[in-house]
Chains A and B, each alone.
Chain A
Amino acid sequence: MNMPVIQVEDLTKLYGDLCAVDNVSFDVTQGATCGLLGGNGAGKTTTLSMLLGLLLPTSGGIRVLGEDMLKNRYRVLARMNFSSPYVDLPHRLTVQENLSVYARLYGLKERQRRIQRLAEELDIAAFLKRAYGNLSAGQKTRVGLAKALLNEPDLLLLDEPTASLDPDTADRMRSYLNAYKLRTGATILLASHNMLEVERLCSDVIMMRTGKLVDRGTPAELLARYGQENLEEVFLDIARDRQREGVGATA
């Protein structure tokens, strides 16, 4: 059996009276692509932020790649990476300069070769010399993915990775991520609102609502459990707290 790359135990994040993440526990095994689904305010981004150590939990534990993230995050940060539409790169620097700075921060040896290769694979080579701030939203998303893949991470955390991409580019990015996972054995945790994306990429899905983990399973298990034909309907059932046939209310 594959080792868990992410182990989250009783994770809670409070902002004053507001409970953003409420006693959540889950694990993700090596090589899995796990989808984190939920509506706005479900706690997905907060959970990803805590996994990265950008946000300290109020209580609970997180182990990533075998290390306690509250004590030893610097032992594993070089082996993980992330992309998120909520975090940006410096606008005045060119794409090449931005990637070069991050390649140095991650201690890469053959920086230019790595950047060039990613640029070709993610189709950003044409605007490597352009200021990041002058790119379209879709181009920025691809550059964000390139930055996330610079260090060839063992764990990739992706927050809405294909947001603002056109369907063709989004499809190619999904294929790329799938191929990357198969080639490197990396683990991917993916927060998304795009159900097609989750169905296509994820072997495992965690459903969240108002900070709580409300269900979990493979896409096929969730479809069967909710008696639906696609994950979008399952998502709506959970978001609207509809009764599960024969199962009762969601947890």
Chain B
Amino acid sequence: MSAVVHPFSPARIYAMVLRYIYLLRRSWPRVLELAYWPTMQMILWGFITQFMLSTSTWLAQASGVLLAGVLLWDVMFRGQLGVSTVFFEEMYSRNLGHLFASPLRPYELVCALLTISLIRTLIGVGGAALLAIPLYHYSIFSMGLPLLAFFVNLLVMGWSIGLLVSGLVLRYGLGAENLAWVAIFAVAPVSGIYYPISVLPDWLRVIADLLPASYVFEGMRAVMFEHTFRTDLFTRAVGLNVLYLGFGIAVFLGVFRAARRRGLLINVGE
């Protein structure tokens, strides 16, 4: 007689989140690494801001725009790394066979990866954002509720890229893991992190129009320069993110099934 096994179990997702928290707790270098790059980036762009304030009238209108840009960019970057590098941990430890011989479903693993990514992003970027207050007298939290909208949209875009990268690494092996560190930079120039999308040539603007991040950073500048929350930009970012996240999940689950065909859950390697 078969036991009743729920197709979606918060308890199993919690078990996996706990597994990743144990891992963080066991490794201080991992925790430090979470906050290191966002903090360094924030310090660098804080000095650049201080220097440029005396020469740029554009920057003088909203002195925190570069700092806000770098902190929000790191939300997307940390969000992506929080999914892909945590998934790689399962591959490094050759644990996928045990996991998927248990009642854990692939989509429950996805939920756990997204949850731990949120936690890691809050730790990493949250620390840098708080440090910017005493260092540069700039608080990103002064944006108010729009900050939440920007945060969620960038995090979700990071998740989508993270799932795509994880799927590719599951398919092609750990030799492809560097994708986790470079993939997101492909969209950085067209996301308008530090400059308006209008500076891009027309053909690149077409690509920018397809990215939720470009609407978020345009929306961020609207809040900072015009003190307006552009719902049109927000809606487009949300719409695109729904599509991208759906695509990211579909690719990951599709690769997972292919991995079962190819025996990759047991023979994880380079």
In the complex, which residue of chain A has the Cβ closest to the Cβ of B90?
A90
New A-B pairs, 4, CB < 8 Å, besides A78-B5, A92-B26, A104-B18: A53-B260, A55-B265, A75-B5, A78-B103
Q: In the complex, are the beta carbons of B7 and A74 less than 8 A apart?
A: yes
Q: In the complex, are the beta carbons of B266 and A49 less than 8 A apart?
A: yes
A209 to B203, CA, bound (A): 60
Kindly specify which of B8-16, B139-147, B230-238 makes contact with the partner chain. Answer: B8-16
Q: Quick check: is B182 within 8 A (CB to CB) of the other chain?
A: no
- With a CB–CB cut-off of 8 A, which chain B residues contact A106? 102-103
Evaluate whether A86 and B27 lie within 8 angstroms (CB atoms) in the complex, with A53-B101, A75-B2, A93-B19 already known. Answer: no
Q: Quick check: is B94 within 8 A (CB to CB) of the other chain?
A: yes
Q: In the complex, are the beta carbons of B97 and A101 less than 8 A apart?
A: no
Q: In the complex, are the beta carbons of A104 and B12 less than 8 A apart?
A: yes
- With a CB–CB cut-off of 8 A, which chain B residues contact A93? 19, 22-23, 26
Residues of chain A in range 88-137 having any CB-CB distance to chain B below 8 Å: 88-94, 97, 100-102, 104-107, 131
Evaluate whether A46 and B102 lie within 8 angstroms (CB atoms) in the complex, with A86-B97, A93-B22, A104-B18 already known. Answer: no
Q: Quick check: is B100 within 8 A (CB to CB) of the other chain?
A: yes
Query: B174 to chain A: closest CB distance in Å?
Result: 14
In the complex, which residue of chain A has the Cβ closest to the Cβ of B19?
A101
8 Å CB contact of A15 from B12, B18, B101, B263: B263
Q: In the complex, are the beta carbons of A65 and B2 less than 8 A apart?
A: yes
In the complex, which residue of chain A has the Cβ closest to the Cβ of B4?
A75
- A positions within 8 Å CB-CB of B: 15, 45-46, 49, 52-56, 65-67, 72, 74-82, 84, 86-94, 97, 100-102, 104-107, 131, 147
Evaluate whether A87 and B97 lie within 8 angstroms (CB atoms) in the complex, with A78-B103, A101-B16, A101-B18 already known. Answer: yes
A89 to B101, CA, bound (A): 13
Q: In the complex, are the beta carbons of A90 and B102 less than 8 A apart?
A: no
In the complex, which residue of chain A has the Cβ closest to the Cβ of B9?
A107
Residues of chain B in range 210-268 having any CB-CB distance to chain A below 8 Å: 257, 260-263, 265-267
A92 to B86, CA, bound (A): 13
Q: Which of A79, A89, A93, A101 has the most CB atoms of chain B within a 10 A radius of its CB?
A: A101
Query: A30 to chain B: closest CB distance in Å?
Result: 12
A69 to B26, CA, bound (A): 37
CB contacts between A and B, total, < 8 Å:
123
Q: In the complex, are the beta carbons of A107 and B103 less than 8 A apart?
A: yes
**How many positions in chain B have a CB within 8 Å of any CB in the partner chain?**
40
8 Å CB contact of A105 from B93, B104, B260, B261: B104
Evaluate whether A97 and B103 lie within 8 angstroms (CB atoms) in the complex, with A54-B266, A91-B93 already known. Answer: no
A78 to B7, CA, bound (A): 12
Q: Quick check: is B99 within 8 A (CB to CB) of the other chain?
A: yes
Evaluate whether A105 and B15 lie within 8 angstroms (CB atoms) in the complex, with A53-B101, A55-B260, A86-B97 already known. Answer: yes
8 Å CB contact of B100 from A46, A54, A78: A54
A128 to B102, CA, bound (A): 21
Q: Which of B26, B102, B260 has the most CB atoms of chain A within a 10 A radius of its CB?
A: B102
Q: In the complex, are the beta carbons of A107 and B11 less than 8 A apart?
A: yes
- With a CB–CB cut-off of 8 A, which chain B residues contact A82? 101
Q: Quick check: is B3 within 8 A (CB to CB) of the other chain?
A: yes
Q: In the complex, are the beta carbons of A89 and B5 less than 8 A apart?
A: no
A67 to B26, CA, bound (A): 40
Query: B96 to chain A: closest CB distance in Å?
Result: 8
Query: A152 to chain B: closest CB distance in Å?
Result: 12
8 Å CB contact of A54 from B7, B89, B94, B260: B260
Q: In the complex, are the beta carbons of B2 and A104 less than 8 A apart?
A: no
Q: Which of A15, A75, A81, A131 has the most CB atoms of chain B within a 10 A radius of its CB?
A: A75
Query: B257 to chain A: closest CB distance in Å?
Result: 8
- With a CB–CB cut-off of 8 A, which chain B residues contact A91? 93
Q: Quick check: is B95 within 8 A (CB to CB) of the other chain?
A: yes
